Amino acid sequence: MINQIGAYSLYICLFVSVYLILKSYISSKNFDKKIDQTFFATLSVQLFMTILSFFTLVFAFVFSDFSNITVFNNSHTLKPLFYKISGTWGNHEGSLLLWLLVLTFFLFIFFVTSKKMNVRYRILTILFQEIIILGFLLFILFTSNPFLNIFPIPDEGLGLNPILQDPALAIHPPLLYVGYVGTSIIFSASLAALITKTVDNVWASHIKNWILISWIFLSVGILLGSIWAYYELGWGGFWFWDPVENVSLMPWFCLTALLHSIIVLKNRNVFHSWTVILSITTFSLSMSGTFLVRSGILNSIHTFANDPSRGVFILTFLLFLVLLAVFIFFFNQKNFPDTYQRSFLVSRETSILINNWFMMFFLSVVLVGTAYPIFLEVINDAKISVGPPFYHKLIVPFLIPFLFFMALGPNIKWIKDKVKKLNISQIIFLILSFVISFFIVLNTNTNYLFSTLLFTFSFYLFFNVINSFQKKNSNLSQKVSHLGFSIFMLSILFNGILSKENSANMKVGDEINFLNKKLIFENVKVESDSNFKKLVGEFKLNDNGKIIHFKPEIRVYSQPETITSEADISSTLFSDNFLVFSLIKNDGFFNVRYQHKPLMIWIWISVLLMSLGGVFSFFKLNEK
Amino acid sequence: MYGKKVKIRAFFIILVFTSAILITFLVINSLKENVVFFKSPTDINNLNQIESKKIRVGGMVKKNSIEIENKNLKFIITDFKNEIIVTFSGAVPNLFEEGKGVVAEGYLEDRKYLKAEKILAKHDENYMPPEVKEAMQGN
């Protein structure tokens, strides 16, 4: 019964969507001067129906309605309520419904908040957004309907993959989706602005908010996924260049570039076509991310089901949207305002352009590394993987000039500035950074020149940002975000050169010595929790007289039968001590891995700082 | 002569092209060095020559083949046609078990012996690395 409500509301959505496409198309053809009242009404109906259908599914999950096949496949009566709810989007069908919900919700918000904008622009944005919504609706209804019935009704569900039963992972997908889907509004709006010849500084300040929303949510979404992989998968690091991670990083690079270029468009009214190209690319990357993850091409924890028809659908739809965008772009080239602005080599514009170039470079590296294995497999059936060394080798050296320009960029004035005003403080910063870095790197066994340079320019950026906080003129959000980035770089670097690791196979009572530390495996206990049993290990680490106790867990879930291990991490502001253990076979030996990770917590904090800068900018704290 | 604007444009275009070429070169070069090929024990058995490059070997962990010492781990990867002995010291993932799918990354010593640097296993009970699946089906 309740399934029917969900399914029918989706059909109503489909109907509304087709209506809105026709309506907005006709309205834009007629150059209507006023927005028809029916737009508001129909958009509200669509939003309401999507919300209804989404909550129907949530309801089915909460009350374990196993007549619904999605619930049956992904839930269980014994699961805690929180994970019953998060189970709604912990599967393919439900996550797409969430996509749809955010799509319609954002369109509605866009419609309500864009009253000051050109009428035809608003209508065309609705048109493009509705095309995307229609595509997703067809996709959901015909390949991944979350409201299919199962008969006879089973008594018990199959359960949610236990490694997804985690607070960070319960909110990671919604945040990431808000980021991804936010780019759809940017896409629709830039196409609409292109057709209505309104790609200008007014449009820039209007669309900037949407870029900020997507960017903030995408950043925090990636962060949560990363934290989760750190403690739950026991990977013990923050980034692994796993294809699925890369797929979320690519739109992030693009959005970051867009976030910078839109500022130029807003202040100087240049970079029109570049901004539009970036908008189109960002959305295409978000869509292809969905395609790669959902189609089962990338095999990973995110792959819910391997159904080729789904992949083919998204790929076709993506191609259609990209072709449409390219077509519109080329036929409206002349619509860009012909305002030639004099620009000089030494100017804020150039520095932002440099930022964009670097972003495009990082993006291409990640794109090649992620797509090449897929490409090669299709061409000659060879199976390969591209590991971290590839990315490190190509990205890390370029960070040196990137950091340098990032330190200088915000100090340069718009339009024209002089190189000569290179003042004493800059030279002092550079020397100071170099000296500090030299002594840091001195006692480590890394590539001296390279690490020293990286450290030097990270510190240089850091000092420059700190220094800029004294000045009142420039904007707060930029300073906070750039401060976040400099701390991010420094903590990664410290983490990289000072991390220590040791792994061994141990039995209860064993004692191992390494790096002046002594690790004792004291005991192992069996305990039970609501929906799993656990083995709790007790370890004692003696680090030069400092004692740390660890209680890592191995959890054995029964529905579905899965073993997960929970790392025990003792975090301080200076370093993380990480211990995870796993069972190899039942002969008393446990595989124990200990890691010492300096400044780990600062990696997370710095990303939050970066996002906080975005939040400041969104609430216009700069303009006071 | 040419105006300043034209000169700046020309300079800009040359800059873009040179950096594009340079980057393509760098990327291709780096790809060549850092790509890791995946092979099944049978593929390795059929190799003409043992390469010194890093490879990945995938298959099932043979039943009763895991031997544990304090620092080292020794086991056999099988695709039910050929086998290869793997030694490893380090951390193993959660679901590394006898009779389950596994991928080992490391260097070949000879056709029957791999020194692994990294062990990867599937993320959940139902998941089998696609490489392993195919290797199984291929036999």
The predicted complex's ipTM stands at: 0.78
CA Rg value for chain B = 23
Pick A135 or A384 by higher pLDDT. Answer: A135
Q: Of B35, B38, B100, which to mutate for an interface test with A (greatest number of A Cβ within 10 Å)?
A: B35
What is the percent of chain A where pLDDT is above 70? 94
Bridge-based pairing of strands A553-558 and A384-386 is unpaired
- Nearest by Cα to A370 from A297, A469, A459: A297
| Lowest model confidence (mean pLDDT) among A206-210, A545-549, B8-12 | B8-12
pLDDT at position B125 is 43
Phi and psi torsions of B38, nearest 5°: -105, 130
Contact between B70 and A582 using a beta-carbon 8 Å cutoff: no
DSSP 8-state assignment for residue A472: S
Res B133 pLDDT > 60? no
Res A365 pLDDT > 70? yes
Phi and psi torsions of A214, nearest 5°: -60, -45
Q: Give the residue-averaged pLDDT of A106-131.
A: 93
Contact between B94 and A234 using a beta-carbon 8 Å cutoff: yes
Q: Give the residue-averaged pLDDT of A366-371.
A: 89
Instruction: Pick the most confident of A48-62, A538-552, A576-590.
Output: A48-62
Cα separation, A590 vs A68, whole angstroms = 41
Question: Residue B92: its chain A contacts at CB < 8 A?
Answer: 582, 584, 591
Q: Which amino acid is at A193?
A: A
Cα separation, A48 vs A41, whole angstroms = 11
- Nearest by Cα to A405 from A327, A350, A476, A328: A350
Cα A199-A200-A204 angle, rounded to 5 deg: 90
What pLDDT digit, counting tens, does each position of A593-613 carry?
A: 888 999 999 999 999 999 999
Tokens (6 digits) for A35: 């927005």
Contact between A584 and B91 using a beta-carbon 8 Å cutoff: no
Q: How far is CA A24 from CA A32, A192, A237, A392, in A?
A: 10, 12, 49, 48
pLDDT at position A511 is 87
Pick B64 or A280 by higher pLDDT. Answer: A280
Res B66 pLDDT > 50? yes
Res A101 pLDDT > 90? yes
CA Rg value for chain A = 26
Question: Residue A299: its chain B contacts at CB < 8 A?
Answer: 127, 129-130
Taken in order A24, A27, A32, A38, the sign of the CA dihedral is negative
Contact between A247 and A370 (Cβ < 8 Å): yes
Least Cα separation, residue A57 to chain B (angstroms)? 25
Secondary structure of residue A55 in the 3-state scheme:
helix
pLDDT at position A125 is 95
Res A152 pLDDT > 70? yes
Res A244 pLDDT > 90? no
Q: Which amino acid is at B1?
A: M
Cα separation, A416 vs B75, whole angstroms = 66
Confidence of residue B139 (pLDDT cuts 50, 70, 90): very low
Least Cα separation, residue A477 to chain B (angstroms)? 31
Contact between B59 and B77 (Cβ < 8 Å): yes
Residues in contact with B14: Cβ distance below 8 Å, sequence separation at least 6, in sequence order = none
| DSSP element (H, E) containing A554 | strand A553-558
pLDDT at position A565 is 80
pLDDT at position A305 is 45
pLDDT at position A69 is 87
Q: Give the residue-averaged pLDDT of A378-383.
A: 76
Bridge partners (DSSP) of residue A575 are: A598
Average pLDDT, chain A: 86
Least Cα separation, residue B47 to chain A (angstroms)? 15
Contact between A30 and A132 (Cβ < 8 Å): no
Contact between B97 and A386 using a beta-carbon 8 Å cutoff: no
Cα separation, A595 vs A603, whole angstroms = 16
Least Cα separation, residue A108 to chain B (angstroms)? 39
Place of tokens 């025990």: A568
Contact between B52 and A407 (Cβ < 8 Å): no
* E-state strands within A35-167: none
Q: How far is CA A601 from CA A181, A479, A572, A576, in A?
A: 29, 21, 8, 7
What pLDDT digit, counting tens, does each position of A245-274 carry?
A: 899 999 999 999 999 999 999 888 888 889
Pick A295 or A541 by higher pLDDT. Answer: A541
Contact between A505 and B73 using a beta-carbon 8 Å cutoff: yes
- Kindly list the residues of chain B whose beta carbon comes within 8 Å of any beta carbon in chain A: 8, 19, 23, 26-27, 30-31, 33-38, 56, 66, 68-73, 89-98, 123-127, 129-131
Render the burial of A319-342: b for 16+ CB within 10 Å, e for the rest: eebbeebeebbeebeebeeeeeee
Phi and psi torsions of B124, nearest 5°: -145, 175
Cα A502-A507-A512 angle, rounded to 5 deg: 40
Question: Residue A389: its chain B contacts at CB < 8 A?
Answer: 33-34
Least Cα separation, residue A299 to chain B (angstroms)? 7
Helix, strand, coil share of chain B (percent; to 5): 30, 30, 35
Render the burial of B48-69: b for 16+ CB within 10 Å, e for the rest: eeeeeebbbbbbbbbeebbebe
Measure CB to CB from residue B37 to each of A236, A345, A384 and give the nearest one.
Answer: A384
- Nearest by Cα to A260 from A363, A402, A356: A356
What pLDDT digit, counting tens, does each position of B11-51 carry?
A: 888 988 898 898 888 888 888 888 888 888 888 888 888 87
What pLDDT digit, counting tens, does each position of A423-443 carry?
A: 788 888 889 999 998 888 887
Residue of A nearest to B128 (CA): A299
Res A361 pLDDT > 90? yes
Q: How far is CA A609 from CA A52, A216, A481, A483, A602, in A?
A: 36, 11, 6, 8, 10
What pLDDT digit, counting tens, does each position of A279-338 carry?
A: 999 999 998 887 777 666 665 544 444 566 777 788 889 899 999 999 999 988 777 766
Q: Give the residue-averaged pLDDT of A492-504.
A: 88
pLDDT at position A134 is 96
Q: How far is CA A154 from CA A67, A83, A146, A150, A573, in A?
A: 7, 20, 17, 8, 50
pLDDT at position B15 is 86
Contact between B76 and B86 (Cβ < 8 Å): yes
Cα separation, A49 vs A69, whole angstroms = 21
User: Residue B22: is it exposed, middle or buried by C-beta count within 10 angstroms (0-12/13-18/19+)?
Assistant: exposed
What is the percent of chain A where pLDDT is above 90? 40
Contact between A562 and B125 using a beta-carbon 8 Å cutoff: yes
pLDDT at position A234 is 64
Phi and psi torsions of A460, nearest 5°: -60, -45
Confidence of residue A362 (pLDDT cuts 50, 70, 90): very high
pLDDT at position A564 is 79
Contact between B85 and B44 (Cβ < 8 Å): no
pLDDT at position A457 is 93
Give the distance between the most distant pair of CA atoms in chain B. Answer: 82
